[in-house]
Each structure stands twice: as structure tokens, then as C-alpha cells.
Amino acid sequence: MNVYDTANRLASEIKQSEEYVNYKMAKEALNLNHELKEKMQKFEKLRYEVQLEMMQTGKNNEEKYKEMQNEYAELVQNEEAKRFFDAETKFNILIADVNKIIGEAIRDVME
């Protein structure tokens, strides 16, 4: 069997997975709500800044981290945003698991 055929089949199966379909639907629903979409974009920007600073300095900017937590707490009060976050998390877990499986299969040549 050709590895590229297998990879293409895996890509197709991921796009048919419940995790992908739910995430895509949640994202599309979010895009229809302009106000919520803007709030989510603001939150994502803040989350990125917090993560970047943590990676660069090894510590959290407490003020930004608290602001991010507050933004998240406010967003999850909205059912649509909560559904998006849940779907995003489940999809990210799926992709991380697939990456882990592939990584373990080739670990012996990567070390």
C-alpha cells in the first residue's frame, strides 16, 4: 500500500469524523453572528499573546492571563461560543492523538 494513498484516506476520514463536522458547523454558526465573532477574535488574539509570552519568557503575564480568563468566562456564558470551544477542543484532541500515533511509529528514526 502506498503511504500517500493512506495519508489521503486518513485526511478524508478526518473530514468525515464527528469531531471535524461538529467543529466546522460550530465555526460556521459563529461566523454568522458578527458580534460574537468579533469577541471570539479578540479572545483568540489575547490567548495567542499569552501563549507567545509564556513560550518566550517562561512565565505568564498575570494581568493578561487574568484578562484572558475573564474573557473566556464571559464567552462561555453564550451557548454558541461554548459549543464552539467544546467542538474545537474535541477536534484538537483528535488531531493530537493522530499526531501521537504517527510520532510513535517513527520515533526510532527520529531519535
Does 64 reside within a domain?
yes
Joined grid coordinates for residue 69: 480568563
Three-state SS for 33? coil
pLDDT of residue 60: 87
pLDDT of residue 105: 93
Overall number of domains in the chain: 1
Does 72 reside within a domain?
yes
Q: How many angstroms separate the Cα of 28 from the Cα of each of 35, 40, 63, 96?
A: 14, 13, 32, 23
Does 86 reside within a domain?
yes
Does 41 reside within a domain?
yes
Does 71 reside within a domain?
yes
Does 54 reside within a domain?
yes
In angstroms, rounded to a whole number, what is the distance separating the alpha carbons of residues 90 and 101?
17
- Tens-digit pLDDT profile for residues 8-56: 999 999 999 999 999 999 999 999 999 999 999 999 999 999 999 999 9
The residues, any chain, with a CB within 8 Å of residue 110's CB and separated by 6 or more, are 103
Does 105 reside within a domain?
no
Residues 80, 25: contact at Cβ < 8 Å? no
Domain residue limits at 69: 35-97
Does 43 reside within a domain?
yes
